């Protein structure tokens, strides 16, 4: 039997954007909600802000006025923390300070009944640490919502060392009844989203730091080729450079300076300069103009139109990039296939040889195969729908080869960005780094594989779960990219997750077993 029903009273402490949003979610599910804030008048203002937001939904005919009024009526501002005594669940959404959270939770234990669950909306503080000062640590659980809480579906349900498993289950089920997508996670630095997402920001910053291309082009490639709603630089500007940098530093410190979470000097410079993003008027982009987005619409690096030969040769298997061939054939280009059983696929167009990046320098790969006109192309979420592609020519590639490669992609409707030769390019290294970190979270028993994908899609709107994407790319290819990045940089930042390596070995065993069953040795 569920611990909670529609009659259960929900209390929220903190009436800022997050706290008021959580109160709205609970009230929307039919609960009576008590809203408290230590700042006088803040709870009342939080309800006013909620009513204003709902009125806009009424104007857009996404909600009736009657339903909006009923929802607001279920949220009651209270003037004292003692007024939260009737609550069956108290969710705190206050300042991210361990001492203050411990103090408030101790107060709640004295005020509320012994069966009341206390949930913390912390995004980075250890649940175990918060619970360490409580008389009933088993009743404390993490309930991490994402901003804006009424819209974002994900809730990370985080168990500390003392959290009663039934409490975590009850909060998980309650989140479902609130139309959320909950995932279970263990209390470790960054939980799931803030841990795995470090790679999204970190790789973009690293690519820019090494001069592969400008930040506008990186953002554009991750949107138009990778399918992400926002690139890392515009997202960091939206979050706030200070906030994003602080989370990176917190996770880095909490993991005892693991190089995988190393913060960026580029971002530190912005923070030191006070260029915090949208809220300060300037970050990576300039928001000082009258437009809300400022110069965020700056043009990415895009090459001029080139012609394309009337025929190409495809050698081997292109794997995830195979949809390119049907696009090319639809444009009347003659496609000749060779060595279709070869795993390392390539497209020969004019003087150019095109290959999906594998995490090496294109120049290194060209030297190993003695193919000076080798040009790497980047990973795409959907090669048919992507409107842009990145190319990274080897240092020995001719101008004619680059033009032929560009012309081929332009012919099938892709804008082309030429970037400097960098291992793994933009989308590929970002996706593989995200997947590798996702597998490592699973390997360290933070959560399961499904939770990684649910969390990254539901919490930060990724177009595809990192582990799902790795499986689509091929786990062996994902591992090869990570291993090649490790070989180039020699940094622990790119060490492969043991679980990823194990899964690749498992697939090899299964494939061999299947072959032997078929009588093939």
Question: Is 194 one of the annotated active-site residues of the chain?
Answer: yes
Instruction: Check residue 294 and report its DSSP letter.
Output: G
Q: 378: phi > 0 → left, psi -120 to 50 → alpha, else beta; which?
A: beta
Catalytic residue among 88, 187, 194, 264: 194
Estimate to the nearest angstrom the gap between the alpha carbon of 338 and the chain centroid.
39
Task: Name every residue whose Cβ is closer than 8 Å to that of residue 474 and which is 6 or more positions away in sequence.
Answer: 319, 320
Question: Is 445 one of the annotated active-site residues of the chain?
Answer: no
Which residue, 306, 368, 370, 316, is CA-closest to 340? 316
Catalytic residue among 8, 28, 88, 123: 123
Catalytic residue among 144, 175, 203, 351: 144
Task: Name every residue whose Cβ is closer than 8 Å to that of residue 10 and which is 6 or more positions away in sequence.
Answer: 23, 26, 31, 32, 33, 34, 87, 88, 89, 90, 91
Task: Provide the β-strand partners of residue 129.
Answer: none
Instruction: Check residue 284 and report its DSSP letter.
Output: S
Which residue, 181, 167, 24, is CA-closest to 89? 167
Question: Is 144 one of the annotated active-site residues of the chain?
Answer: yes
Beta strands in 319-459 (DSSP E): 334-338, 346-349, 352-356, 374-377, 388-393, 415-418
Catalytic residue among 92, 109, 156, 351: 156
Q: Does 169 sit behind a cis peptide bond, omega within 30 degrees of 0 on the bond before it?
A: no
Question: Is 373 one of the annotated active-site residues of the chain?
Answer: no
Q: Report, as residue numbers or ranges, the catalytic residues.
A: 123, 144, 156, 194
């Amino acid at each position: 039997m569920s611990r909670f029903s529609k009659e259960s009273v929900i209390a929220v402490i903190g009436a800022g954007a997050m706290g008021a949003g959580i109160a709205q979610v609970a009230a929307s599910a039919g609960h009576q909600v008590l809203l408290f804030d230590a700042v006088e008048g803040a709870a009342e203002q939080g309800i006013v802000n909620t009513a204003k937001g709902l009125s806009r939904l009424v104007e857009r005919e996404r909600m009736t006025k009657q339903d909006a009024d009923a929802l607001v009526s279920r949220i009651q501002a209270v003037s004292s923390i003692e007024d939260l005594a009737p609550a069956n669940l108290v969710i705190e959404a206050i300042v991210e300070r361990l001492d203050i959270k411990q103090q408030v939770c101790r107060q709640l234990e004295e005020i509320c009944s012994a069966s009341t669950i206390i949930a913390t909306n912390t995004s980075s503080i250890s649940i175990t640490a918060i619970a360490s000062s409580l008389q009933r640590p088993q009743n404390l659980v993490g309930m991490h919502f994402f901003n804006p809480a009424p819209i974002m579906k994900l809730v990370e349900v985080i168990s500390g060392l003392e959290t009663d498993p039934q409490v975590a289950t009850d909060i998980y089920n309650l989140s479902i009844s609130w139309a959320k997508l909950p995932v279970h996670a263990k209390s470790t630095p960054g939980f799931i989203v803030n841990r795995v997402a470090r790679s999204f920001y970190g790789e973009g910053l690293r690519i820019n730091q090494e001069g592969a291309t400008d930040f506008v082009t990186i953002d554009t490639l991750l949107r138009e080729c990778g399918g992400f709603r926002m690139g890392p630089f515009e997202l960091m500007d939206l979050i706030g450079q200070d906030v994003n940098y602080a989370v990176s530093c917190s996770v880095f410190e909490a993991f005892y300076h693991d190089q995988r979470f190393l913060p960026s000097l580029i971002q530190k410079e912005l923070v030191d300069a006070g260029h915090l993003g949208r809220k300060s008027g300037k970050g990576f982009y300039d928001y000082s103009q009258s437009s809300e987005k400022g110069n965020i619409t700056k043009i990415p690096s895009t090459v001029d139109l080139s012609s394309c030969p009337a025929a190409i040769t495809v050698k081997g298997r292109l794997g995830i990039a195979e949809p390119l061939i049907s696009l090319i054939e639809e444009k009347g280009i003659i496609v000749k296939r060779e060595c279709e059983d070869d795993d390392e696929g390539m497209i020969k167009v004019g003087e150019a040889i095109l290959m999906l990046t594998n995490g090496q320098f294109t120049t290194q790969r060209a030297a190993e195969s003695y193919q000076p006109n080798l040009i790497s192309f980047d990973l795409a979420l959907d090669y048919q729908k992507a409107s842009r592609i990145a190319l990274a020519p080897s240092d020995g590639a001719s101008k004619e080869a680059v033009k032929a490669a560009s012309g081929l992609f332009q012919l099938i409707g892709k804008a082309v960005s030429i970037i400097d030769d960098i291992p793994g390019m933009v989308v590929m290294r970002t996706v593989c780094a995200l997947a590798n970190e996702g597998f490592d979270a699973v390997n360290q028993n933070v959560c399961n594989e499904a939770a990684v994908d649910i969390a990254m899609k539901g919490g930060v709107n990724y177009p595809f779960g990192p582990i799902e994407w790795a499986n689509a790319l091929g786990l062996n290819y994902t591992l090869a990219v990570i291993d090649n990045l490790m070989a180039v940089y020699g940094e622990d930042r790119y060490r492969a997750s043991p679980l990823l390596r194990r899964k690749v070995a498992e697939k090899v065993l299964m494939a061999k077993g299947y072959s032997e069953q078929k009588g093939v040795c």
